[in-house]
Structure 1
Amino acid sequence: MQLTGHTILITGGTSGIGRALAEAFHQRGNRVIIAGRRRALLDEISATHPGICGLQVDMQNAASVASLAEEVRSLFPDLDVLVNNAGISREETWDGDVIDIDTSLSIIETNVLGVLRVTAALLPTLAKQPSATIITTTSGLAFVPRFNYPTYCASKAFLHSWLQSLRHQLRHKPIDVIELPPPYVQTELSGPQHLSDPAAMPLGDYIAEVVALLGEPTPDSGEILVERVKAQRMAERSGVYAQIYAKLNPA
């Protein structure tokens, strides 16, 4: 993938991996649009990085996603890169007397339905370009899950499977379909305490490695794997699934 000269939409672009990717792409001369729920953050990032455009969206609301897509099609008809990065992660307890199903459903709405809605709405625009790319953030937890984040892990496993099918269906079009499964990275995805967790990969290091890999030819698998996620991704193939699962899920 060429790293300059694109028009890029990044959902979930106001924090964590999405914001860091937006800043990295902007520094390389791309036109970057970030989409997020919090207007104040969108305005702050646009002011700090002149040229980045912020559009508001609620990924759990189908009408809001449709409105975002309509705005992008109108303002940026040359859109050629879609980064599906918006996602939420919440702990869940399924062994008690009361199950908080609303938390599970909100994760599915954002992490699964939001991605499908945005991609479906903008795929015709991407298909009009000489070449285009769809990048979707999944997770190393798609391959070896954590017991206390069951719906989050399952949502990322869904996306991994869906992306394989999408890639095959689009094989005759000039559209690359890339999966980006991060390891545990220092972001606020699962809470502010994770920003400084020494067990997590520093965000800057992760973005630097991702950008370097994106600049190389896309592998046939379509997966951009930093070194720290490879053990999880290859756990079953390497015969170490049980060991990694036990480490992530102590008895």
Structure 2
Amino acid sequence: MIGKRIIIIGATSGIGRALAEVSVAEGHTVGITGRREVLLQEIAAERPLCYHTAAFDITDTDTSIAHLEGLAEAMGGVDAIVVSAGGGNTNAALDFEIEQHMIDLNVRAFTQLVDWAFTYFKAKGGGHLAAITSVAGMRGSRQAPGYSATKAYQINYLAGLRQKARKEQLNIVVTDICPGFVDTPMAKSPVRFWVAPVDKAAWQIYRGLHKQRNKVYITRRWRLVAWLYRWLPDWLHERM
């Protein structure tokens, strides 16, 4: 990982919280964000000299960037930013409110966050941007069409930023963290297999970031699943 100061956006629970704990244990100073200020304070109280906090809702795009800029300033600058905030749900009934919420969170807010991070690192002269996407973004899903579509957007957006960094010869690493199933409340699929404990997922993510990888599959066996799923013939995919 580039540098020692990390912001993890969406760290009150699940993968984000576990990654924050791993990062602090490895000697990093970590800025954590989330909507639930009480939980942020509980995490920070465990090692108050290592954490900085900022409580805000990333879907409030009028105020999110001000909160992030304030957090970065309080930390004396940032070397890596991980976007862990996101959400999803199954939606076989195609309830538009469910889809709209995922679009607001996984597309609109996500875009604002990664654009700010990329621009911040460009001005700074380098840095490491990472975001948690999903293997679900490889193909469409009848159970969760909105979720798979928004994750496909994230995967492709990160790839575009990686290409942009290379074309402009910027010292910016862009990492796509692509999990399969991780044992968190967000894993709502009715069919689950190879479910990774959240602590194991966090350590694998940390190691992948430390090696500055472009793509990190969690767990590693999901690399094969992602490859097979991507190249699955349409006629077979439609019958699943």
Structure 1: where are the runs of 5+ without partners?
none
Pairs aligned (count): 235
Q: TM-score, normalised by structure 1?
A: 0.83
Secondary structure of the residue that 1:89 maps to in structure 2? coil
1:16 alignment counterpart: 14
TM-score normalised by L of structure 2: 0.87
Q: 1:229 to 1:144 in 2, by over 3 A?
A: farther
Question: Mapping of 1:86-101 within 5 angstroms?
Answer: 86-94=85-93, 99-101=94-96
- Secondary structure of the structure 1 residue equivalent to 2:185: coil
Distance 1:173 1:227, change over 3 A: same
SS in 1 for 2:63: helix
Q: 1:8 to 1:28 in 2, by over 3 A?
A: same
CA contact (8 A) 1:7 1:32 kept: yes
Q: Which residue of 1 aligns with 2:223?
A: 230
Per the TM alignment, residue 149 of structure 1 is displaced from its structure 2 partner at its CA by 1.5
2:33 pairs with 1:64: no
Q: Match for 2:4 among 6, 11, 15?
A: 6
| Change in 2 beyond 3 A, CA 1:124/1:200 | same
Encode CA deviations 1:190-246: one digit per residue, 9 max, x unaligned.
45x99xx7752111222222323333353xxx1112323113320256657877886
One-letter identity of the residue aligned with 2:81? L
Using the alignment, how far apart are the partners of 1:239 and 1:14 within structure 2? Answer: 36
Contact in 1 for aligned 2:107/2:153 (Cα 8 Å): yes
Identity %: 24
Q: Shift in Å at residue 61 of structure 1? A: 1.2
Aligned pairs (5 A) from 1:79-228: 79-94=78-93, 99-171=94-166, 172-190=169-187, 199-216=194-211, 218=213, 222-225=214-217, 226-228=219-221
List structure 1 runs of 4+ shifted beyond 3 angstroms. Answer: 128-131, 236-246
- Alpha carbons 1:7, 1:80 under 8 Å: kept: yes
> Cα RMSD over matched residues?
2.5
Q: Is the CA contact (8 Å cut-off) linking 1:127 and 1:175 kept in structure 2?
A: yes
- 1:134, 1:177 within 8 Å by CA — same for their partners in 2? yes
Please state whether the residue corresponding to 1:187 is helix, strand or coil.
coil
Evaluate the alpha carbon distance shift between residue 49 and residue 242 of structure 1 in structure 2; reply closer, same or farther with a 3 A threshold.
farther
Ranges in structure 2 where 5+ consecutive residues have no aligned partner:
none
How far, CA to CA, are the matches of 1:245 and 1:203 in structure 2? 31
The equivalent of 2:45 in structure 1 is: 47
State which drifts further: 174-183 or 232-241: 232-241
User: Are the equivalent residues in 1 in contact too, given 2:175–2:209 (CA < 8 A)?
Assistant: no
